[in-house]
Chain A
Amino acid sequence: MTLPPILAALKKHKAGVTLITLQIALTLAIVCNAVFIIGQRIDRIERPSGINENNLFLITQSWVGAPSGDDQGSVDKLDAMQQTDIATLRNLPDVESAIAINTLPLLNSTWSGGIGLKPDQQSSTAQAAFYFGTEEMIPALGLKLVGGRNFTRSDVNHMGFRGHNRPPIVIVTKALADKLFPKGDALGKTIYVDRDAPSTIIGIVERMQVPSPDSWANDWFWNSVLIPTRLDAGFARYAVRAKPGRLDAAMREAPKALFASNPMRVIETGDNFEDTSVHSFADIRAHAYRADRGMAILMGVICLILLCVTGAGIVGLTSFWVGQRRKQIGIRRALGATQHDILRYFQTENLMIAGVGVVMGALLAVGLNLWMMKQFSMDRMSLLYVLVGIVSLLVLGQGAVFAPALRASRVSPVEATRSV
């Protein structure tokens, strides 16, 4: 099959060909970018938190008329209340472990600060999130210590929410250790937390995600600092692990037990995530990535509609062209063209149209990505997406054109003798 006859035929349908080319180009551009967005969201959602999430749940509660926590006496009182609650939770038959902690990965409630290598360093070396807890934090959350040691009971102090007496030692995540000390010798080094607190790194955990799943924390997503301090405030968070298979029961029993020990507190069960006090970690994860999951689904639906519309458009348009050219097809058949030749003709024609379309589309896709990078600070799209998109659209075109082309190939040579 030579191309000139196809080109000559296409020239007769300039407008139609232009429209379908344009459609293929636009489809490719949008689908590439949408699939790129889906890919990015899935990458985000699949980041491991670093903690053992099984059977884990979190209670966020506050005491009514609690001491202010501003003077030592009231801090001690709050600390005693917290210890009582932890004991109450540990005594429950379905509970394996319970600790007090200021926040958890994916919970969004973030306490973060700058980490410097020198005192009074103007701009910090790394941003990091802080987790305040005791020596039980690492075993209870299932964190993996990859260097140094865990805190001991005597390392742990307690202070008010706005207190200043932070202990002089910390444990950091490997990501943060590598960022601060790229040579890998972070253990034993001193870092400055929030510009003023010198702290020695005594241990390194493999991984612990920061609490915020949002994009503002994207650059320091694995940078966490574990601080051996029980924070005392009018509210407290308890991370509780239920015994295997007993999560629901433990989540039901825990608030009851806490109320029984002290009714002057708020533990809510509302309709929204925000006004509910007891969450399984699975819920926390689902809530954190709800928007990302939704965006991925939305983009997926739009891609699906786009590909269907474009596929159906090619079917419709080619069917029309086949109908219009029945006589010419008949003549070609009468002059000796085989059915296979006719089929190939339409397949090649589509390949040419789609070929021009995908080249335009590839340029458009990259342009669109550049625009989105500027407008929405999105990442650069890998060209792999464009390549896969090109192949998919060419395959879609060939698939869509197949049925009408097959119909064309079945046109009998007798048609040549009939008038339209």
Chain B
Amino acid sequence: MFGYYLDLALRSLKRHKALTALMILTIGFGVAASMTTWSVFRAVSGDPIPWKSSKLYVPQIDAWGPAVQKNNPDPDKGPPDALTHGDAVALMRDHRGKLQSAMYMISPSIVPAVPGEHPLNTLGHAVFSEFFPMVDVPFKYGSGWSAADDEHRAQVAVISSKINRKVFGGGDSVGKTINIDGRDYRVVGVMDEWNPQPRFYDVVNTGGFLQQDEGVLLPFNTAIAAGMSNDGNTNCYESPKETGFVGLQHSSCIWNEYMVELDSASAAQDFKAYLEGFARERHPGWTPNVRLRGLMAWLDHEHVVPPDTRISLYVALGLLLVCLVNTAGLLLAKFLRRSSEIGVRRALGASRREIYTQFLVEAGMVGLAGGVLGLVLTGFGIASVGWVLPRDIAALARLDVTLFLTTLAVAIVATMLAGLYPTMRAAAVQPAWQLKSN
């Protein structure tokens, strides 16, 4: 029977070519617009480290007090989104999490070993040794450094594959010496290709998305000792009392990020309680104002998904809705015009259910055709988002199997939904009435 319905649907669709084309185009454009915007949305709102995101937390501590909070536009009056250097170092010293790392962004220059090559800039972070197991940094050669290296301010570095290629021409460079900002460091690890999006461990400075990869990771204490200054945001409530980088370290300015791994919800509760005690001790002037957000909640709090991406998605979904209403209207007109045909079929013994199937098959076929067109258009859409959206975000949108199947499914399901009411009306046709009026 299904084959017969397919045949009937094809004949019916062929009879009104312009109308069929119109429906297919409508569905195609509607689906393509929403799928293209969804592919971008999916890319920016995804979980960057799904196997572990539930265990990663970001602590916040109010180091400025209620006087500054008065001007805080945030109704929640939460603490600022970064830590003072003093707080970050003290948290590290207490070492209450399973794994943790204070960090700050650096942008040192690297002098290639090859003579005649110009120096190059790179982006990186000064971190502690536990950073590597905490965020699962993949290594091609070697590994991170040890806790003892942290302690002794060892002159060691972990570099990206890209820097490894540029400076050493690739290969296993563990043990080689690299010149960073005019000082020599021993390479202990070469990272595998690693460019998590969003850059979850430091969204404050990266805004979430960066095309540049993490070029170099240095021990936090070593970088501080070398006077390697912060390249990320520095947020001050008042100017530092002393000058220079040391002045910044002693100031109430916030420029350190922090991440901690906690194994369970109860461990997170304990840590939160510890954090309150910590804040009470370090900032005795006011009641502790601290937060401990899980990674995904933190990304949400930092508005990592650009509002434009969300607005585009909603507007495109609105377009899809209009397309569906449009298709429903056209299908309704089309089906009802065939009332006499339905009457004849019903009189000849077709059940309501069979009429249902017949017309839903027809709607489904329109949906399938619309979906195929939608796929092609989505392909075009994704290819041209780079032209429309910021490059760092556009580069993330991809046409993969999931998107491929979702596009088809959305098109078919949506069209059949749109066809549901028209089909119901068609099935409700009274055979006797139709036969009489003829």
- List the interface of chain A (C-beta within 8 A of B): 15-16, 19-20, 22-23, 26-27, 29-30, 33-34, 37, 62, 64-65, 68-71, 122-123, 160, 162-164, 194-196, 234, 259, 263-268, 272-275, 290-291, 293-295, 297-299, 301-302, 305-306, 309-310, 312-313, 316-317, 319-321, 323-324, 372, 376, 420
Contacts and interface: CB of A to CB of B under 8 A. Distances in A.
Contacts of A259: 118
B182 interface: yes
Given A123-B70, A266-B118, A316 B19 contact: yes
B3 to A, nearest CB: 28
B315 interface: yes
Contact of B337 (A123, A272, A320): A320
Interface string B396-438: 0000000000000000000000000100010000000000001
Interface stretch (B235-243, B258-266, B347-355): B235-243
Contacts of B390: 290-291, 294
A245 B311 CA distance: 42
Contacts of A316: 18-19, 22, 329-330, 333
Given A275-B212, A291-B308, A295-B311, 20 more contacts: A16-B332, A20-B329, A22-B325, A23-B326, A30-B319, A65-B181, A65-B182, A68-B244, A70-B245, A266-B109, A273-B391, A290-B391, A293-B388, A295-B388, A305-B30, A306-B322, A312-B25, A313-B329, A320-B333, A376-B310
Contact of A309 (B18, B29, B229, B245): B29
A70 B244 contact: yes
A302 B315 contact: yes
Interface of B: 18-19, 22, 25-26, 29-30, 33, 37, 67, 70-71, 109, 111, 118-121, 181-183, 210-212, 227, 229, 236, 238-240, 243-248, 306-308, 310-312, 315-316, 318-319, 321-323, 325-326, 328-330, 332-334, 336-337, 387-391, 421, 425, 438
Greatest chain B CB density within 10 A among A163, A234, A297, A309 is at A309
B330 A317 contact: yes
A302 B316 CA distance: 7
Given A15-B421, A22-B325, A267 B118 contact: yes
A420 B338 CA distance: 12
A60 to B, nearest CB: 10
A274 B322 CA distance: 40
B308 A295 contact: yes
Given A19-B329, A268-B121, A313-B26, A162 B307 contact: no
Contacts, number: 170
26 contacts: A15-B421, A16-B333, A16-B336, A19-B329, A23-B325, A30-B322, A37-B311, A64-B111, A164-B243, A194-B239, A196-B239, A266-B109, A274-B210, A275-B212, A290-B391, A291-B306, A291-B308, A295-B312, A301-B33, A306-B319, A313-B22, A313-B326, A316-B19, A320-B330, A376-B311, A420-B438
A272 B391 contact: yes
B421 A313 contact: no
Contacts of B119: 64, 264-266
Tell which of B67, B246, B388, B391 has the most Cβ of chain A within 10 Å.
B388
Nearest to B306: A291
B388 A274 contact: no
Given A16-B333, A267-B118, A294-B390, A62 B312 contact: no
- In the A-B complex, the 4 residue pairs with the closest CB atoms: A65-B182, A70-B244, A294-B388, A19-B329
A299 to B, nearest CB: 7
A27 B388 contact: no
A48 B25 CA distance: 42
B333 A321 contact: yes
Contacts of B321: 26
A69 B323 CA distance: 62
Contacts of B181: 64-65
Contacts of B109: 62, 64, 266
Contacts of A321: 333
B22 A312 contact: yes
A37 B312 CA distance: 11
Contact of A62 (B121, B183, B248, B325): B121
B322 A164 contact: no
A15 B332 contact: yes
Contacts of B438: 420
Interface centre among A33, A162, A297 (most CB of B within 10 A): A162
B337 A26 contact: no
Nearest to A324: B337
A64 B387 CA distance: 36
Contacts of A64: 109, 111, 119, 181-182
Contacts of B118: 259, 263, 266-267
Contacts of A323: 337
A294 B212 CA distance: 22
Contacts of A30: 315, 318-319, 322
Contacts of A299: 315
Contact of B246 (A15, A70, A297, A310): A70
A195 B319 contact: no
A302 B33 contact: yes
A310 B244 contact: no
A306 B183 CA distance: 60
A75 B29 CA distance: 61
B342 to A, nearest CB: 15
Interface centre among B118, B310, B425 (most CB of A within 10 A): B118
B29 to A, nearest CB: 5
A128 to B, nearest CB: 15
Contacts of B229: 234
B243 A309 contact: no
Nearest to A318: B333
Given A62-B121, A272-B211, A274-B211, A69 B388 contact: no
Given A15-B421, A274-B211, A312-B26, A376 B322 contact: no
Contact of B322 (A27, A160, A194, A275): A27
B22 to A, nearest CB: 5
